Chain A
Amino acid sequence: MEKVLEVKNIEKYYGNKSNLTKAIDNISFNVEKGEFVGIMGASGSGKSTLLNVISTIDRVTAGHIIVNGEDITKLKGNKLNKFRREELGFIFQDFNLLDTLTAYENIALALTIQKVNAREIDKRVNEIAEKLEIKDILKKYPYQVSGGQKQRIASARAIITNPKLVLADEPTGALDSKSARQLLENFEFLNQKMNATILMVTHDAFTASYASRVIFIKDGKMFHEIHRENDSRKEFFDKIIDVVTLLGGDLNDAL
């Protein structure tokens, strides 16, 4: 299988010598093409930092991150931006849609900055909107639609550029349970039918249970890893709960 993401012995320190915090302490893992990986951990476990360094928003202190054969820890300036717009798609907890643009324009923006022509943009936006069932809200503004719809618009924007890797940061964090379920089903669809590779950070076991593999992080280190394989989602959910119980601490509260 083709490796989309290789994380090799990365470390991330904050602070100075007298007060050093290791947010990430020697983590290594791979993500293969077409995988749907969940990363779980309590608040402060380092999972957000991990996502930030992979998405090049933050830099690692040591180690390498290789996306599609390219070491992104070495990229700088506009090359970073180019990498972000061509290889990555983002989905955030608070949607991060531009409130002055319509849904259509928000989705199109990811393509316009790649200098795709208008006709092509129109075709692709309509295509993706149909798949994510947001076609009838394309003309609306973010404030006119529900949270779940906003997150689906954000997903459409993330996926429309056909990125190598979709990074989702607590995508269900701001959604009610019904919208969350619908969004996760969309993720499954993107993953299985459109072959998108998704890396999702969450502290919610239910959300994580939609992934095909879950990596657990505690205090900046990899704690455990489980694969779904042929389990049903319910079975996989129980397995995750077992690990969470083992992890102890805050993560229980999140359930």
Chain B
Amino acid sequence: MKPETVLNADVRFTLNGKAVAWLGSPAAPLLDVLREGFGNTGVKCGCREGECGACAVILDGELVNSCMVAAGRASGAEIVTIEGYKNTPGFEILDRAFAGAGAVQCGFCTPGMILAAACILRNNPHPTTEEVRKGISGNLCRCTGYNAIVTAILAAAGEGEGKW
């Protein structure tokens, strides 16, 4: 990433509960800023064009593909990556549920999938199977065929009352 000097300005945002500032180009993809600027390598790059969901993060409560978001858009926002989410009570439930369902194979889609699950359950603590499937349909997984992931999210919903 080459900083564009004309555009350069501090982009200040909250990353996993901590106030941070990005000093590079506000046009840089948030994906690169998170991975390279802040070492959040749990944010995966699968396609860099918004199709696979491996780079999904939570921005002000919404799931976004960080490859499609310019760093400047993060200004003033609260961003959560797997590095932060893994310390929450919601994660503990999803972790157990994903383990119990065997929902992690290669693991590359997993951080994005967990954050997608967190967003689904926050908005709808008792989703139907169809709602779960629709909710993760922006996150590709080539290993599991999705059943184990859907089972895990439904199991987490059953356990996680009030934790989202």
Same complex origin of A and B: no
